[in-house]
Structure formats: C-alpha cells, structure tokens
Structure 1
C-alpha cells in the first residue's frame, strides 16, 4: 500500500538520523540480549508449587512472547516454551521479517522502551541487520529458557477458578515431535503463535477482522508477505542517483513520497505497480527496502493473498510461489533501479510474514477511537504508536490507512483472554478491533507489552492473580517499572486527533471506514 505523506515524513526523520554509516572496526564486545537487563538484575528463582511444571507455559516462539519469557525468567519465574513450529523464531527468524517498523509520536520521538528499544538502537546503528545477527540476538534473548519444538496440542483440561469465578487451564497435554505424549501444569498459559494454536481451542468469540473494513461477507485477512533478499546491490549509487532528483521528479518517476536514505527506502509505488505478477494472488506493492550493508538488501513488498496459516499446504505453496516470483522481480528491479544492475537473489526464507489471523475477545478490545484519541488506561502495559495501516486483501490490493495517531495506551486487559483466569495472549493476538489492529499489531508495541507483563507476573507471584489486579496495584507496579526498568507506561499524555469528531464519525472510524474531514 502506498505510504501516506505523514508516514513518509516520520520515516524520513528516522532515516535521516541514521544517515551516517555505522561505525566499523569496533571490536568491543556487545552485551547479549539476556544480559541487557535494564532493571535490578536477575532474581533468585521463585518457589514452584509441587503440582506445577512451570510458572508460565508459552505456546509458540514469536519474538513478542519471548520478551515476556525473558522478563518473567529474570524476575525469578520458571518458564517453558512449547512451539508447534519445527524451528523457533517465528516471523523474525523463520520468515526473515527483518525490516523493523519503529513507532514514533508526533514529535518524531521514538516510543520504543525496554529491551525492544535496545534492539532498535542496534538495528539503526547497523549492528543488527542480517539474519545471522538477528538470530544471535534471538538466541541471546531466550538463553536459559527451554524450548520444545514441533509439538502438537492434543488436549486442554479446564476447570473453574474459585478465586475469580472464571475458567482456568489446569493442564495441557501435547504430543512431542517424536510422538511422545506429555502433560504440563502451570500458573499461566500464553498464546504466542501466528495461528492461534491455543486460543482457538478455548474461545469461539472471534473479533471481526479486515473483512469489516473491505466489505467482505466472510472472514478475511491482510496479505502475507515473503521477504525478498538480494546481494550485489550498489547502495551508494542507488542512494545518489535517486536523491539527485528533486522530490517532484522522484515522485513522478518512482511514485509518491519516494525516498532513499543510507538505511531504508520507501515509496517506489510506480515500480511495484508496473510489475505484472504471474498470478492474481500475488502483488508487488511499493518497495520497503532495508540496506543490510555490504551490498545485501531485504525487501518487504511481495504480497501473497488468501494465505491462512492453519493451512500448512497453502503456506508451503505460497512460500514456493514467492521464491519463484522473487526471481522474476529481480529482473524487474535490475531494469528499474540504478545500482541494481548486478543484483542477485541472496537466498529465500522458508516461511512467510503472517500479518493477520483470527483474534479472540479479550477483557478489553482496543478500538480505533482509543488509538486515534490517545486513550490511556489505568492498566497500561505499553505505549503504542504507528498509523492504522491495514494492508490489502485480494479484492482491495492497496489496503487502507485510517489515520496517524500520536501515541496511545495498551491495557493489560487487551492481553487477557476473555472469561479466562490464566490465559494471556501475546504479539499479534492482541485484543484489538480491525481498525485499531492496523497500528496495535506492530512488533515493538506488543513486545513492550510482553516484557511488562512478564515483569508483572514476577512481581505478583504468590500474592494475586493477574485478573485480580486493581488500580492501586497497577499504580504500584507502574512505579516499579519506572524505577527499576526505566519503563514508563503511566502518566503519559498524547494528542487526541479526533477531539472534533461527531459520534457518527467515531462510529465510522471504529467500523473501519476512513473519515474525511473537510
């Protein structure tokens, strides 16, 4: 989807701040992700009940949930990760979605905090750009946390939780990759997959998705992407040749708001739009290109429609289609972009970037007016930002952006599965309406939430349950987060962008329709 001008300006400011080349020849050892604790240091292990196998069992290994795992472990909790995928890492490692989108406020100030800010800082410096560098970071992040890959959930035992009157999971049974059946019991269970491996077994209260935005009668999902990787790109020539054109000339030749920095590109809608894909379920949009340095690049632009992540055969087919299309896109880029004349394919990912799938109701479902209205909550666990960017579907290939918020709160209740006492959702499973999800889904927003929830779980262990926390409790926890971790999620104010909206216009925004103000 073509980026709107306001998004381009935000990215331009960030890009400009990264214009100088990363320092080279600095051999000082960098602290690992697991060592980069901004708080008081790793705690002594907390006592585990005799009838429990872990304090927390996390289903899936997406990086957002791994921030929860790391924080909880450093707070002294026992954490176990059960991953239905054959290999860990999710969209970042297996899908190689290494183009990091940074949320900023209206003053172009980053909204990243905690460990994910450390990732972004190193990313912008050029220290973490390649798959190998991201993999090393991810492995450091999960250091000491056991992960069992290739599992399949076969049964979930539920019972009434007398303390809260809700349902709770008491045990989860799964089959290992080797065919062995195991059962685990834990205080909390976390949904951290991109295909609702756990929550689809627990709830039938699906939050309406992008079909409501694009007027479809059946459930629908944003396009998935396959990352395209190239080498042999002369980025200096690319940067120089494009930027010697005036902005008007660039926009006319390459597409509106086209820019190239030493780190990124955006725009190039004409380059994408002039490419004819081999199938109607494949589309090349504008080019978000990451300079991975040393002639290597990664592009987030090749969309594949009608991919449902629970359909393994379709996912495998889409990956193969994407690989073949990448070869053809290369020929197109060699002709269209200066500095790409000698580019070559630099390998292929073995998985997709899945933006969107079913989400199930949480205790609070974030709305479009919450996001655009800079709503803050007494139980904030993250401060989010980023445009309401809803990528396209097969019937609406360019997608739509519904607005650009300043900043907004993300409440703990949006990460607790409705009617359950001990089920947490992480990452893209966040409780958000279709309109709000376009912004809430961005990785750093939910990564911060994961870290904060992990810290909270460590602090309340043996005292209260997550769903029993009240405003006084959260005030104390917010103070602890600020003092010990320098994470600020309370007392924050954002600009209300919809203060002059009528009730009708608010309803229009929440239904996923763009409001055009005169």
Structure 2
C-alpha cells in the first residue's frame, strides 16, 4: 500500500527546491505536507521493457527454513532478507498471480507514500526505512513508477537469491498448527498446487505477508476487523479500483501539467511521472450515488503513453468476502465509462484519451488487524514514541479514508516519527509465525499511517532476519521478542543490511503541553478528534452545542446499552441552531445525563454528574469559563466519564 495513497514529489520542476510538497487525498480534498523529498531519477517515462517471467518451482521441497506467504512488497522483502541471512526460503502465493509486487503491480497503486526523517532544517531529509525498500526504490522511475518496471525490479531481487524458491498459483493454502493447551505453533503449510495435487511443507517459521493476515487467521490468531476497536465494527473505508487511460501522449501530459501549474494552488502540481489535482472531480455526479464517488485525481504515468488513476471510491465493500470484492469490480467498471466521459467533456486535455483497462486487483485499504504481543496505538503515533524493539519507522499522516459518500474522511494527526516494535509482528498465543504489513498488530487509527509500503517492507526485512536469529539462539519467536539482548542483536544485523535503526527522542508537540491534553488523548483514542496535517486540535476554540452532541453520540457507539439516551433531547425544542450556540457547563451536563440516563436532581445536571462520580471537581476547576466551554474543556469532561465507566466495568468483572 502505498496503502494510504497520496502524492509526493513536487521538486522536479524547480531544481533549486530540495523539499517538496506531499498531497494526501481525504474525501476529495487535497492538503499539502511540506518538507518531502521526491524520489531521485524521475526524468520521465523510460523505454518500454518486456515483463519478465517469474521462475517458479513445479514441486516445492518437503521442508524450508522459512515459508513466506504473499508476494506483495512486504513478502518480497521478507523472502529476500531471510535468504540473505542464509535461510532456505519458499515464497508462495495463492491468488493466481503470475508476477511479484501485489498491490503495487497488480492493484496498480503505482505511487509511493514515503516516510522521511523529522524536518530539522537540514537541506535533505533522509528516507526513514532504507535497506531492501531503498534497494528496490532505486530501481524504479521515481515517486510514481511504471508497474512493469516495479514488477521486474521485485523479480530481479528475488531471482538473485539462490536460497529462494518461488511457488505461484496455488489454489489453496492452510497453516499446519500444533496445539498445546492455550498455545499453538505453526509448523509449516499445506498447499494445493495448480495441478490439484497437495503438498505438506514443513518450516522452521512462517511469515504471513498476505494483505489480510489470511494464514494467521486460519491458525486461530485473534484479530479485530476494520474499525471494530473504536466501536465501528461494520464501518469500512472505501476501496478503490485503479483505472488506466490511454492516448496520454507527451503533449497531453504537458497540457495536464500546464493546467495544474495555472491553478495557482499549492495543493496541486506535477512532475515528470506524477500529477495531483483536479480537485473538482469530487463534484462528479455518480450514476450509483449510494455506492460510488470520486475524489481529486492521483495520476501515475506509465512508459507507454498511458496513466493510472487512483480516485474512484467504492463503498460498502467487505474486503474479506470474495463476492463483495467482485461486486466492487462490477460497480467500478459500470461507473468508469461515465467518469471518463465526464472528464473528457470537462477538461479539454482529456478529450482524446480513452478508458483502457482496470487494475487486475482491487485496492482494499483495511481488513484484519491481528492481536500481537504489542498493539500499536494512536498515542504511539500522536506522541512520536520510540520503542526499544524498533524495527521500522513511520511518519506518514494518519489518513482515514471516507466511509460513505456522505463522509469526508479525516487526517487524525501528522507525526514526525514513531517506531514500529518487533512485538507487533508476533501474534499472541501462536508461535512459529510472524505477520508483516497492513494486517500487523495495529489499532485501526495508527493503521492509517503504518499501512504504507516502506513500513511494511521494513517489517518484512526484520522478520526475515529474526527467523534466522531465533534459530541460531534456539529461541521461539516469542522468546526473541521479549529479549532486549537479542533484539539489540537483531537491530545490529538489520543496520548492517542497510537499515538505520537508531533510538530517537523528539520534543513534545505543542498540543501535548496544553492543560486539556489528557482529555484530548481520550478523544483521539476514541476516534472523536482530529488535528489534520497541522496537528491543530483547536483546543482553545469555543465549542458549541452541536459539537458536544456529536462528541457524545460518537462516544455512545462504544456501548449503546450503557448509554441509552440521546444528548440532543436536552436541548429546548424549536431553539436556535445548536451549531451556532455556545455551550455552557450545565448544558453539557444535561446532554451527558441524557446520554447516561442519569437523573438530574434539584441541584442540576452538573451536580448530578459530580455527585455520581462521572465528573471530577478537579476537572471543573480547570474550566476557565463555564458559560462558554472550549473544545478542550469538553474533552476533559468526556475523559472523566470514560474513566468512571472503565472503573465501573472493572469492578463488575468476576
């Protein structure tokens, strides 16, 4: 993935600029993130090259040191790393694929979401995740790339490793699992080959690099789905069907660039391989308005006078259900002729282009999140936390895509740098297995940042090296994950492989010093507050009655049975628009009492909440003006309620 999808790399047009702007699309709106460096060497389309055939084994061996399942970039990195560490490795896939690269080469997501070191005023910001990712990155055209170039680059890296066998087109795969009480261990894989025959393959360890943690789920590893951990189990981010337009000659590309340059808008632009803009495509009137929408165009150029466009959003799709995915393909294919016709009529530069094809695979942003020895939290990202067992770094904004046509998406926060721990690759209660990529042990909100390709490939590289180290030390992967001594050895080896895994410490963000920060942490963790690309949570801005209603309604989804009331019932009927009215402490209390079904006694709603322990007197003392609460005030009050309900829940546990 470039799982978050954005544009990066504006600096090619103005050579004196070393820092460029990255655009991220959320709900059709573009916002620039400054300080990015585009990939070097993007001089424009290269000469056409044929797609190289991947050499696969007809019959796998009976045993391998490592089996890597999944040929997405994370799987390629894991296999290459394991092989370079002397492990006999099987790289296997079961999705009918004939080439390597998965989402990048078959989902046609041909633009990268990069991670760079914090901006300290240096002339050049280094890529955070180097190693195998940077090795591959140096073989492609730039910030956007030709998918054949990318596939060949993956294949070249794998083919050079004598320790790797590749096995494609298996019709089924299932983990071999041995159970011992509450614990289990994955000991290999049972596969059905393309000819229908079955093979049982033993392995010292299995690395699950599938997009959806398919092997982990089949092995019984617990997981959450989508936004389940923040009370939205049925909510799903839009999926995207990338499409290709042909007849985009160099002259047409110049016209595209000219339009974007003439927009006089810092949120649009182009370079030799990429273009980002056309924001008013969000106004496209879909034929299927309940299921389909467009956003501004993310365009990646190919080497054959064609372009790939990531902009079509399809809603209500279950990425784990084959029928639902197929329905998404049909919805997208039915809508695309109308979209292209709209583009041709609206923009003269597209008058001669034609719809050429759609990606062979769907771009699904989020499905499973395994439960690992450590679960990456949004506070890890919000506070730019390091981890003692760091094996990858994230910096990409927490980009939450639209959930429905009515939704606008959100950017929760824009971190400077945070670490992904090795423990997030280690499933609970299951040994012999590591999970890398977007389905690793992340909560849903940090997944919005950590799902990007550079992070996933760094995880894959770490996993491949970790299996070797664990075997050398006669340790299980779980034992390895708990050993600070051995993790330090792993980090040293990864650094020698080209990664840079140094401890770091960053100054607290300004919002972390705010008196309302404890409340903000709760609101952000519950998915009820977003700071955007500037980390502006507007803590001192005046709240209003509607904002408090929305805050409480958002909280109710976590436990509707315990919060049966409707906050809006506390407002006088026929009153002024609540969006325009300030909110007093007593009004916020009345709304909260309605939510919790707490009777407001003679002393008023605020007295009832403080008397019941839902609000703390200490918190009330922090409010500067009880007649006009700020956003920060409302977060502090919500935090009190959350802590009270947690305490009640704990006291009721047997």
| Interval of TM-score (by shorter of Structure 1 and Structure 2) | 0.7 to 0.9
1:146 aligned counterpart, secondary structure: strand
Residue in 1 aligned with 2:199? 182
**Pairwise CA RMSD of aligned residues?**
3.1
Cα pair 1:372 1:496 within 8 Å, conserved = no
Cα pair 1:406 1:495 within 8 Å, conserved = no
2:222 aligned counterpart, secondary structure: coil
1:113-512 equivalence runs, <5 A? 113-125=130-142, 129-143=145-159, 144-154=164-174, 156-160=176-180, 166-203=183-220, 205-207=222-224, 209-210=226-227, 216=232, 218-233=233-248, 234-247=252-265, 257-293=267-303, 295-394=305-404, 397-463=407-473, 464-469=475-480, 470-482=483-495, 484-494=496-506, 496-497=508-509, 499-500=512-513, 502-512=517-527
Gaps of 5+ in 1: 28-32, 34-50, 252-256
Cα pair 2:130 2:499 within 8 Å, conserved = yes
Residue in 1 aligned with 2:111? 99
1:195 aligned counterpart, secondary structure: coil
Displacement of 1:409 in angstroms is: 0.3
CA distance in 2, matches of 1:72, 1:19: 29
Cα pair 1:385 1:445 within 8 Å, conserved = no
Structure 1 residues 6, 225: closer, same or farther in 2, change over 3 A? closer
After the TM superposition, list the runs of 4 or more consecutive aligned residues in structure 1 that deviate by more than 6 angstroms: 3-6, 17-20, 23-27
Displacement of 1:453 in angstroms is: 2.1
CA distance in 1, matches of 2:48, 2:30: 36
Superposed CA offset, 1:358-403 (max 9, x none) = 2220110001110121111111110111000011223654321101
Superposed CA offset, 1:178-217 (max 9, x none) = 322221221111222223321222336323532565x63x
Q: Work out the number of aligned pairs and report it.
A: 480
Cα pair 1:232 1:340 within 8 Å, conserved = no
CA distance in 2, matches of 1:457, 1:446: 17
Larger mean CA deviation between 93-102 and 423-432 belongs to 93-102
Structure 1 residues 3, 376: closer, same or farther in 2, change over 3 A? farther
Displacement of 1:25 in angstroms is: 8.1
Structure 1 residues 346, 495: closer, same or farther in 2, change over 3 A? farther
Larger radius of gyration: 2
Larger mean CA deviation between 374-383 and 74-83 belongs to 74-83
Cα pair 1:319 1:350 within 8 Å, conserved = no
TM-score (norm 1): 0.84
CA distance in 2, matches of 1:142, 1:19: 23
Cα pair 1:372 1:406 within 8 Å, conserved = no
2:428 aligned counterpart, secondary structure: coil
CA distance in 1, matches of 2:176, 2:406: 38
Gaps of 5+ in 2: 1-24, 55-60, 120-124, 531-536, 541-654
CA distance in 1, matches of 2:206, 2:406: 36
TM-score (norm 2): 0.67
Displacement of 1:152 in angstroms is: 1.5
Displacement of 1:466 in angstroms is: 2.4
Cα pair 1:304 1:318 within 8 Å, conserved = yes
Larger mean CA deviation between 451-460 and 402-411 belongs to 451-460
Which structure has more RCO (C-alpha within 8 Å, separation ≥ 6)? 1
Cα pair 2:392 2:420 within 8 Å, conserved = yes
